[in-house]
Structure 1
Amino acid sequence: MQPEEFQQALAEHGIALTATQMAQFATYYAYLIEWNQKMNLTAITEEKDVYLKHFFDSVALAFETDLTTDRHLCDVGSGAGFPSIPLKIVFPELDVTIVDSLNKRITFLNNLVAALHLDGVHLYHDRAETFGQNPQFRGQFDYVTARAVARLNILTELCLPLVKKSGYFYALKAAKSEEEFVEAKPAISQLGGKFITEKSFSLPVSGDERHVLIIQKTKETPKKYPRKPGTPAKQPIK
């Protein structure tokens, strides 16, 4: 997917990118490739693949929810900024918080945000477990996203405590897994969530499958969650 194809594909979904936004995506790609030589940000480096599998894939979340209003989104384990930075470029009014456990990635994102001249992006070097226990952030976000950083039962414990009541957690997955969903049901329930639906779509050009699991926060998460760093992965809720 070339940049022009990316622009056209989003236009078909009612998202019209300006010349400024297209320039921001071009800068994003340049920074990603430059910094990827110094640290491991992504295995996907061809321009056409980055625009398809990172940029389009990230913005596709907007096909499932309204991001055009003044909302607060937290991206857990964002890595190189996906999906939150592409969403921020497309929806400048979105207030974005990114938390990542690797300080090198936060350094990259700080430089990227400055280069893209983005306001309303807040970057934190922290573990999701401790971040979710911080009163400043707990239960404060309309939307929380995580893009394939762990199995769903673990992701739910890392992300749902950050969602405000009636807000949503979006788990972005490359593959459908009924087993993973069944495994996560106890965690979703115990943490105050309600599974709403799973949206599936195929990427243009490649036809690769993508899945978005949508979980709404209907009750406050018990105070003991998330547990200490490392515990959710070692002892997932059953």
Structure 2
Amino acid sequence: MTTTNTAAHTITVGGQPIPTRKPDMLLWLDVETTGIKPTADLLEIGLRCTSMDGTQETARLTGVRHLKPDEGIIFEPGAIGMHYANGLIDDCLLGGLDPDDLASDVIDFTRDLAATYRLHPAGTNIQRFDLPRLASFCSRVSIAGATSLIGFLHYRAVDMTTVRALLATQGHHLDQDHTARHRVDDCLDRDIAFWRHAQTLITPASHTDQADTDSEAQA
């Protein structure tokens, strides 16, 4: 027996309910750290949840970690000058959240979104840099409902570095601007704007092609 209740969004096949798939959304990530080494400490976190095309924002979180003068944090040479210039070190020393509180905020924010959406991590170099560092930072606190922060995210990520490389093969050399100040909101603004612009360089598929693509994606 197969029954469908569109209003309630439930489907039953052979008497067993099949949960409706959550809507796909992008969870944009960016972190600022004391350097690029795996041992670098995290200073600032930025998260934004948008539609898959990046045109509609659902939620955002920006947080700075409080640094104590006697904490013994070590900066790599390139990072300390950059973060003094952009004001991040002052923000960390004069304000910000205790690391455990900031980690808890990130977990709560992500868990709440994951209850409603299927979250695809998005950003620049996120799988090799931002996401591992953020997951490590959040491991300092207990995470109910998952073994790590990554447990709330879908395994399919959207990396802007890959998109830039793909477009470059077609003559669109949209290199990342490395002169901008390195604060999470600036980096996320830039990534999302790039993602939206990149879509304008792609010829839209016909309705038939789109239907075939959607069917393959759901398989």
TM-score bracket, shorter-length normalisation: under 0.3
TM-score by length of 2: 0.27
Q: Which has the larger radius of gyration?
A: 2
TM-score by length of 1: 0.26
Q: Which has the higher contact order (CA 8 A, sep 6+)?
A: 2
